[in-house]
Structure 1
């Protein structure tokens, strides 16, 4: 099957077309085309063009897509909703399922091995989004805290935002943002079984920066 993968939970605007063999339990997702633009202010401008470029490079059209997988965060409000709205729009227009996955899980999926892993991404306000993994499964998080409040132990390695991983005394894995293959890997079971996707629910973990004037007075 052909899967469109999208993530805008970090400053990286990521899109990809991924081939996934749903009939094979051992078959790994394979990226046919990928586009990544690192610009926290360009999500709305570059995402759809990137998707169309990926489709053209892979020799496909939107009508060839069988499913969409989109990262639902955690991430900042403005950027995150661009990716989720775009994924939902493609799914609605093509009448195909749209699966939401935790973006931190997608980063973890790109880190080989069963070591205890910590994943952190930029939450702004001098904070990080984080989750902890053991044996390839998430065991804590996602949550948002200041880096000084997050213990490195018992994790053995760390992955995620390049400007934040060095704040922790752990070996760094080179997986900074969710990849198309990582996103599809997290949704692999749901895609293989063909379950009805749950409604897309963004993981903001806190209120958006922009609020109504009436809310500011409370």
Structure 2
């Protein structure tokens, strides 16, 4: 099974190609990482092409596509989802989604409770709390940074870029990883498809927790003459 994974729900444009075979598990075939908050559209397709070329693989070799579904800013998130669905349709292969917070959580490898926090702008964060990297306890949610620790055990470790933006709430020592990686997404997807008890996969639809910042213009106001 050859799985192409990518996530554009944060500032990271991250792509990975993993091969899974029974008995050998998941083996990376190619990885591309970039961080740019404004160039998701420009960077994603070349990154996918580069990873495929690095592995000597063709699109027809793919067995599945995995994509991060957010939560995240509307524009960047949409780039990844549209690309994933388009590839799935063109190649007639399944497309699996995963919560971006779960992807970050999986990469920690933690076995004790912690929280994942990403930037939601508007002085808010996207967040979820976890029993371990394999099991989400609550969320995902969006709200004030203080919501993350409300009712949580004292000293709960906090992972993710969002924690670095509010040191007055989370302290100075936010734990890595700060951003999602496609390697973690690919590993999580393969683990779930192999029947392991890990966070569930989702349809390739955006996980919006609030309305997008961009809105369609309303009707023009009528002008009345005096």
Q: What is the TM-score when the length of structure 2 is the normalising length?
A: 0.84
2: CA distance, partners of 1:126 / 1:41: 19
- 1:41-77 deviations in whole A, cap 9, x for unaligned? 1011110000000011112111111110000000111
Say if 1:170 and 1:92 are closer, same or farther in 2 by CA, change over 3 A. Answer: same
* Equivalent residue pairs, number: 211
Q: Is the 8 A contact 1:16 1:54 kept in 2?
A: yes
Say if 1:109 and 1:198 are closer, same or farther in 2 by CA, change over 3 A. Answer: closer
Q: Which has the larger radius of gyration?
A: 2
Q: Is the 8 A contact 1:5 1:69 kept in 2?
A: yes
Deviating 4+ runs (over 6 angstroms): none
Moved more, 183-192 or 124-133: 183-192
- 1:112-151 deviations in whole A, cap 9, x for unaligned? 2311111011111111100110033001110011213331
- 1:11-66 deviations in whole A, cap 9, x for unaligned? 11111111223x34x83x33221112211110111100000000111121111111
Instruction: List gaps (5 residues or longer) in structure 1.
Output: none
Say if 1:206 and 1:175 are closer, same or farther in 2 by CA, change over 3 A. Answer: same
Say if 1:170 and 1:55 are closer, same or farther in 2 by CA, change over 3 A. Answer: same
- Structural RMSD (CA): 2.4
SS in 2 for 1:106: helix
Q: Is the 8 A contact 1:70 1:100 kept in 2?
A: yes
Q: Tell me what 1:192 maps to.
A: 194
Say if 1:51 and 1:202 are closer, same or farther in 2 by CA, change over 3 A. Answer: same
Of 145, 148, 159, 2:146 maps to 148
1: CA distance, partners of 2:10 / 2:30: 20
1: CA distance, partners of 2:147 / 2:193: 37
Q: Tell me what 1:111 maps to.
A: 108
Moved more, 91-100 or 170-179: 170-179
1: CA distance, partners of 2:12 / 2:213: 20
